[in-house]
Chains A and B, each alone.
Chain A
């Protein structure tokens, strides 16, 4: 039985998808129609009780939270594809550190920008200009820290690409694309070089090619 990822067209599930593709793991996807409220139906809530995407089913085993799925896949398939967890316990510690930075510090303001710039009208709430401005300022301050760090380190956790870098791909893709704030990345020399590197990886290109939101 093949591993299934629910909700592939949305950003968070793409963290799981890019990891699966990097590791050469076979999988299937199951679309979830958020516009029709499919994520709030009992059948989906049985897989993900908070009603968000992704959910993953691997035979009898169920798991949700995109970064937990990334860790699961990276550990289970450690011996194939790039080692996305580092080679030592200490390297893994650095991977976990930057994966957590993405979750606690980088993604929250970026998520505000995503919701209020890309999805407000579609989801039927007023776009909050004050929140957009504050979120851009917060994200800018975070990117300044990234710029300093990436001037000394090729990738976030060291000289190897890891889950920490991949976790940034889906929403940063929105930032430089439909959110219309590519300058936040491009105006920072080392962040820009890092972004160009990770976003040109074949696994990410394949993720976008196959699972971008249908036009």
Chain B
């Protein structure tokens, strides 16, 4: 049975799951939920995801939402297949979890409103909050310095292998890198090196093609 992913292939959170499935060679089918027409808020989708968000998955009788939980589930269930995303030991896994949680609390909390203001609002013809953007950039600079320092002595966020910790950052980072703010990453030697390496991975390139960001 093939995993059904409900979401939009261009949206960051569904991309997080898709990237995991691609890294793990797990077959899937995308059921398009149209965010532009707010399909995610309609009763049919609310049965799958009661907070009205994407993604949600159905795998036979098993259902799950929250993109990071879905990625962790498949990374655990198919730990022997494709890329090992969860580290080699309990201690290593906990460091993977640590940096995956950092993405939620320190990175996404800044990048999400930045992308909303720089990319989404203009697309919808809404006004961008320029004052907020400047505040967020300052905070993001502090956070990226910490990441850059971590990557100065680690090839990837959780050590010398690519894991869920790196993967989970990639979709939102992809959006950030398509704005003028990409300077903030490019100007930091270790972050730049890391970004070039993780985006050279075949699974990422496949995902970007599926989303229409790469031809």
Hey, which bits of chain A sit against chain B, CB under 8 A? 49-50, 61, 63-65, 67-69, 71-72, 75-76, 89-90, 92-94, 96-97, 99-101, 103-105, 108, 142, 145, 148-149
- Is B127 at the interface (CB under 8 A from chain A)? no
B64 touches A63 (CB 8 A): no
Are A99 and B150 interface neighbours, CB within 8 A? no
Check A103–B62 contact: CB distance below 8 A: no
Q: Which A residues are CB-close (under 8 A) to B76?
A: 89, 92
- Is the CB–CB distance between A93 and B64 below 8 Å? yes
Instruction: Please state if B51 and A105 are interface contacts (CB–CB under 8 Å).
Output: yes
Q: Across the A-B interface, give the 7 residue pairs with the lowest CB-CB distance, nearest first.
A: A96-B69, A100-B66, A72-B94, A93-B73, A68-B97, A65-B101, A68-B98
- Whether a CB of chain A sits under 8 angstroms from the CB of B90 is yes
Residue-wise interface mask of B (48-66) relative to A, using a CB-CB cutoff of 8 A (1 in contact, 0 not): 0011000000000010111
B77 at the interface (CB under 8 A from A): yes
B101 to chain A: closest residue by CB:
A65
Most buried by A among B65, B73, B93: B73
Contact A76 B51 (CB under 8 A): no
Residues of B within 8 Å of A99, CB to CB, are 69
CB distance from B4 to the nearest CB of A (A): 15
Chain A residues, CB < 8 A from B95:
63, 68
Chain A residues positioned under 8 Å from B97 (CB to CB) = 65, 67-68, 71-72
CA distance A71 to B143 in the complex (A): 24
Task: Please choose the segment from B27-35, B102-110, B181-189 that sits at the chain A interface, where 4 or more of its residues have CB less than 8 A away.
Answer: B102-110
Interface 1/0s, chain B 76-88, versus A by CB < 8 A? 1100000000000
Q: Are B62 and A90 closer than 8 Å at their CB atoms?
A: yes
B150 and A101 form a contact (CB under 8 A): no
Contact of A68 among B70, B73, B101 (CB under 8 A): B101
Majority SS of interface residues in chain A? helix
Q: A72-B97, A97-B66 are in contact. List 13 more A-B contacts (CB 8 A).
A: A50-B143, A50-B146, A65-B97, A65-B102, A71-B94, A71-B97, A75-B90, A90-B62, A93-B62, A93-B72, A100-B69, A100-B104, A101-B51
**Cα–Cα distance between A145 and B66 once the two chains are bound (Å):** 15
Q: Contact partner of A89 among B66, B69, B77, CB < 8 A? A: B77
Q: Which residues of B contact A (CB under 8 A)?
A: 50-51, 62, 64-66, 68-70, 72-73, 76-77, 90-91, 93-95, 97-98, 100-102, 104-106, 109, 143, 146, 149-150
User: Which of B62, B93, B104 touches A104 (beta carbons < 8 Å)?
Assistant: B104
- How many A-B residue pairs have C-beta atoms within 8 angstroms? Tell me: 80
> B residues within 8 A CB of A105?
51
Residues of B within 8 A of A149 (CB): 50
In the complex the two chains form, is A50's CB within 8 Å of B64's CB? no
Measured CA separation A174–B72 after assembly (Å): 30
In the bound complex, residues from chain A placing their C-beta under 8 Å from that of B146 are 49-50
Query: In the assembled complex, which residues on chain B have CB atoms less than 8 Å from the CB atom of A148?
Result: 50
* A108 contact set on B, CB distance < 8 A: 109
Whole-angstrom CA separation of A100 from B93 in the bound complex: 17
Question: With a CB–CB cut-off of 8 A, which chain B residues contact A68?
Answer: 94-95, 97-98, 100-101
Does A64 contact B98, Cβ atoms closer than 8 Å?
yes
B98 touches A65 (CB 8 A): yes
Q: Are A96 and B66 in contact (CB under 8 A)?
A: yes
- A97 touching B65 in the complex, CB below 8 Å, given contacts A71-B94, A72-B94: yes
Q: Determine the residue in chain B with the shortest Cβ distance to A93.
A: B73
